[in-house]
Amino acid sequence: MTNPPDMKAATPRLDEMLALYARAGFTHVAPPVLQPADPFLDLSGEEMRRLMYLTSDADGRELCLRPDITLPVCRLYLEQGAGDPRDFCYLGPVFRSNEPSGEFLQAGIESFGRTDREAADAEILALALESAALWDVTSPVVRLGDAGLFAALLAALALPPGWKRRLVKDFARSGSLGADLAALRQRPERGGVADHAGVLSALAGSDPEAAHALVTDLLSIAGISTVGGRSGSEIAERFLEQAASGDAEGLPAEKVDVLERYLAVEGDPDTATAVLRTLASDAGLDLTAALDAFEQRTHFLAAQGVEVEKLRFASAFGRPLDYYTGMVFELHANGAPAPLVAGGRYDGLLARLGAPAPIPAVGFAVWPARLEQLRLETAR
């Protein structure tokens, strides 16, 4: 493994980056290093646990050294009284056990509360490109996706709730469904809803309250109170959701065909928009609002001076976090798998952290050590 670069030499560029964010109206914040562990585990899953440095307080509440700074900044915004638009930037260490030294430097920005979503998206991506340029990365590979478009497609296809949940979860986990499409034509694997198809069919269409009480009682009789942090009542609700017609069967071939066509779309944003409008028309789906927003964002990007024809949009591209709700992007050096800068829109995240309603939010994280390493390698 390559040794991380000495970041002392990068200090002038880090200062320039914070100055760039300040000029753009972002307030510098420094959330506490010690954070509640539950938000990270709830949003990133138990697989995050093995990467985190955990401890507990005097009351037994699980704490951690922050493995990321986005969630702490979100919590800070909520603590200050969410409502008015606020823009924050940050720079500081995060801690993960898979790092050689156990920690690395993360910078970034988070913008909350702006309702002009497409304009905000464009400004964020433009700032991401300016951030990379401070390290002389002036022509990165920009991978672009849109979780909102995918959600709009699933809604237009009128899929059963269980299938929507499965597809969104799989897409978020893998960043792509390209390898899974053949399986969509089949019943889910054992261990999923297919194992309970008979029970689900019996529950489908039954009185919701009576069915919920029955499932809850059965779980209680079996001695099951929680599974993966979910209560018996939550488990019952999830099980009944799966009882919706079609959840225990494979998807209809015509709907899988639409998904295949959608996930094959790649190209610059303007080309992708035209292809996606044709697809929606052919399939009789109303994706007008989502595609209009996509096209409007492209126009705002051009107005920011971004060369949109060089952006690599792929409808199958996603980031492996399930809280993204719109644009997602990564900036890469040619041939490098790890992103230099990455982020996107996450309008539902603050509600999951306790906000009474969803709040528009978009931002990105920067990995300065990767940028510095690339700069040193290029200079040799």
- The pLDDT, as a whole number, for residue 144 is 96
Establish if 326 belongs to a structural domain. Answer: no
- The pLDDT, as a whole number, for residue 166 is 76
- The pLDDT, as a whole number, for residue 344 is 97
Are 136 and 66 contained in the same domain?
yes
- The pLDDT, as a whole number, for residue 192 is 45
Taking residue 157's Cβ as centre, other Cβ atoms within 10 Å add up to 20
Q: Is 2 helix (H, G, I), strand (E, B) or coil?
A: coil
Establish if 107 belongs to a structural domain. Answer: yes
* Nearest to 97, CA basis, from 38, 50, 41: 50
Query: Treating both helix axes as pointing N-terminal to C-terminal, what angle do 11-23 and 368-379 enclose, rounded to 10 degrees?
Result: 130
Number of separate domains in the chain: 3
Are 315 and 358 contained in the same domain?
no
Q: Exposure of 283 by Cβ count < 10 A (0-12 exposed, 13-18 middle, 19+ buried)? A: middle
Are 277 and 132 contained in the same domain?
no
* Nearest to 118, CA basis, from 329, 365, 364, 362: 362
- The pLDDT, as a whole number, for residue 189 is 45
Helix (H) or strand (E) holding 363: strand 361-366
Are 74 and 134 contained in the same domain?
yes
- The pLDDT, as a whole number, for residue 200 is 47
Are 168 and 89 contained in the same domain?
no
Are 375 and 348 contained in the same domain?
yes
Are 192 and 314 contained in the same domain?
no
Q: How far is CA 106 from CA 20, 97, 144, in A?
A: 16, 15, 21
Establish if 2 belongs to a structural domain. Answer: no
Q: Where are the beta strands (DSSP E) in 96-250?
A: 103-112, 141-146, 226-227, 230-231
Establish if 327 belongs to a structural domain. Answer: no
Establish if 303 belongs to a structural domain. Answer: yes
The CATH number that applies at residue 116 is: 3.30.930.10
Residue where one domain finishes, among candidates 233, 249, 265:
249
362: domain range? Answer: 7-140+333-379
* Nearest to 378, CA basis, from 339, 335, 338: 335
Are 129 and 87 contained in the same domain?
yes
Residue where one domain finishes, among candidates 201, 220, 249:
249
- The pLDDT, as a whole number, for residue 188 is 46
Residue where one domain finishes, among candidates 249, 274, 300:
249
Establish if 235 belongs to a structural domain. Answer: yes
Are 288 and 339 contained in the same domain?
no
Q: Is 76 helix (H, G, I), strand (E, B) or coil?
A: helix
> Mean pLDDT for each 10-residue chunk of the chain (380 residues)?
72 96 98 94 80 92 95 95 91 93 95 97 98 95 94 90 76 56 53 47 55 67 60 56 53 88 95 97 96 98 96 89 90 89 96 93 97 88
Are 135 and 25 contained in the same domain?
yes
Are 24 and 130 contained in the same domain?
yes
CA distance 156 to 159: 8
- The pLDDT, as a whole number, for residue 245 is 43
Is residue 325 a contact partner of residue 363, using CB atoms and an 8 Å limit?
no
Q: What share of the chain is helix, strand, coil (3-state, %, to 5)?
A: 50, 15, 35
Are 135 and 220 contained in the same domain?
no
Torsion on CA atoms 169, 172, 174, 176, rounded to nearest 10: 100
Is residue 361 a contact partner of residue 340, using CB atoms and an 8 Å limit?
no
